[in-house]
Amino acid sequence: MNTVAARLAPFGTTIFTEMTRLAQRHNAVNLAQGFPDFDGPEFVKDAAIDAIRAGRSQYARMFGDPALNAALAQRWRSLTGQAIDPDTQITITSGCTEAIAATMLGVINPGERVVMFEPYYDSYRATAAMAGAEPRFVTLRPPADLRAGQVTNSPFWFDMGELERAMAGARAILVNTPHNPTGHVYSRDELERIAFLCAKHNVLAITDEVYEDLTYGHEHVRLATLPGMAERTITLSSLGKTFSLTGWKIGWAITTPELTRGVRAAHQFLTFATATPLQIGAIAAIEQGGDYISSLQVQFRQRREFLATTLASLGFGVVMPRGTYFIMADHTEVARSMGVVGDVEFCRELPARVGVAAIPPSVFYDHPENGRSLARFAFCKKQETLEEAARRLRAIASVPHA
Ligand SMILES: Cc1ncc(COP(=O)(O)O)c(C=O)c1O
């Protein structure tokens, strides 16, 4: 008997579940799934706990607690200079994951093309399938100077011709910046080119900006701030990455009143509303979170450097991420010394043989061969966790590198 509907059967169990299970079985240091092994800020937790004690436990307003919508409108204005209406332009969702699903289901018609970059966050493809949309992929490629045993500061890149061909006839493009898993922060030039093509071909832009506060010396440009783009962009984000509260699942979609109607058409039947006390906690985070964000950036920057240099010293070829808390590294030489080939085999072997878990990124490509030489490591961990991972990883370093 087929127990999984045909539209979702091809997606199986997510790789995060599989790798986390493997990590648990082998008591491995889990650098696979992107969640911190430390807690979020006390003042945010206190605000949510106070809300529970104050009896704020019934359904929230469908599109968000009024004070959270207002706080996000205020934040948007200070970040972008754009004044938006909190009640008709912001929808609070259960994490960015729901915002992605609500946007796909509420705005895209079956058969319409959605352009996305590969490697992609895995829910993009699955929600496109749920919406009956046709995904079309543009590949983000590693820099040409990526070498075993070295860290390169050159960015991932994509072919503009490939993008132009994909955009003609598309309904929407989904841009994730800063980008998981590559750590790429789309440059202003790249986004201007995307904006030009959106206008030329009348394409909507959906942006996933959940790592917007995690960039390291590179400007995060919001596509919605480029000329002509506010009218055609749906900006999605969430609280989880910025405030180390990934389990809270408070997200949002910011866009025009017209596009908001589409997002809400789906949101009202997906979850209807999001956990009330956690929305109250989110208000504290949004309004008073500046210092927390600054200190998190400093810590993550140090950990990024630590993990990048450690991986390079072990023979990985490392692309220094410009944002997010992930590092993409070419594992070819290291895998060879372990006698394995390909990212899936490498990441399946790593927990058992070394006691560290990573993610094989080929599962995030329409053309898996483009990701087969890479592995994704998360550095959103305590320094001591990363040091323990480094100690364990040294066991596989049979080839010395400069
Ligand atoms: C690119 C990207 N988008 C969305 C999400 C999900 O965000 P949330 O936890 O807010 O649903 C993640 C989480 O890993 C992500 O990496």
User: What range defines the domain where residue 390 resides?
Assistant: 9-40+291-396
**Residue 42 phi, psi dihedral angles, 5° rounding:** -60, -40
- Long-range Cβ contacts of 14-23 (<8 Å, 24+ apart): 14/122, 15/122, 15/359, 15/360, 15/363, 16/122, 16/359, 19/347, 19/351, 19/357, 19/358, 19/359, 20/357, 22/348, 22/351, 22/352, 22/357, 23/351, 23/357
**How close is the Cα of 347 to the center of ligand 1, in Å?**
21
Note the pLDDT of residue 396. Answer: 81
pLDDT tens-digit profile, the chain (402 residues) = 889 999 999 888 888 888 989 999 999 999 998 999 999 999 999 999 999 999 999 999 999 999 999 999 999 999 999 999 999 999 999 999 999 999 999 999 999 999 999 999 999 999 999 999 999 999 999 999 999 999 999 999 999 999 999 999 999 999 999 999 999 999 999 999 999 999 999 999 999 999 999 999 999 999 999 999 999 999 999 999 999 999 999 999 999 999 999 999 999 999 999 999 999 999 999 999 999 999 999 999 999 999 999 999 999 999 999 999 999 999 999 999 999 999 999 999 999 999 999 999 999 999 999 999 999 999 999 999 999 999 999 988 654 443
The first and second tokens of residue 42, run together, are 């006390």
Number of domains in the chain: 2
303 and 177 together in one domain = no
Q: Which of 228, 263, 288 is the last residue of a domain?
A: 288
CA–CA gap between residue 213 and residue 5 (Å, rounded): 37
User: Does some domain include residue 356?
Assistant: yes
Last residue of a domain, one of 262, 288, 314: 288
210 Cβ below 6 A of ligand 1: yes
To test the pocket of ligand 1, the residue of 121, 243, 278, 328 to mutate (highest count of ligand atoms within 8 Å of its CB) is: 121
State residue 397's pLDDT score. 62
In a domain, 149, yes or no: no
Q: What whole-number distance in Å separates Cα of residue 267 and Cα of residue 8?
A: 20
Supply the pLDDT for residue 16: 83
Does 379 lie in the same domain as 270? no
Per-residue pLDDT at 17: 86
Both 222 and 301 in one domain: the answer is no
Structural domain includes residue 1: no
Q: Do 284 and 334 fall into the same domain?
A: no
Phi, psi (deg, nearest 5) at residue 262 = -65, -50
CA gap 355, 351 in Å, rounded? 4
Domain boundary among 259, 288, 317: 288
Which one of 210, 220, 326 would you pick to mutate in the ligand 1 pocket, going by the greatest count of ligand atoms within 8 A of its CB?
210
Cα 287 to ligand 1 centroid, rounded to whole Å:
22
CATH number, domain containing residue 390: 3.90.1150.10
Same domain? 228 vs 243: yes
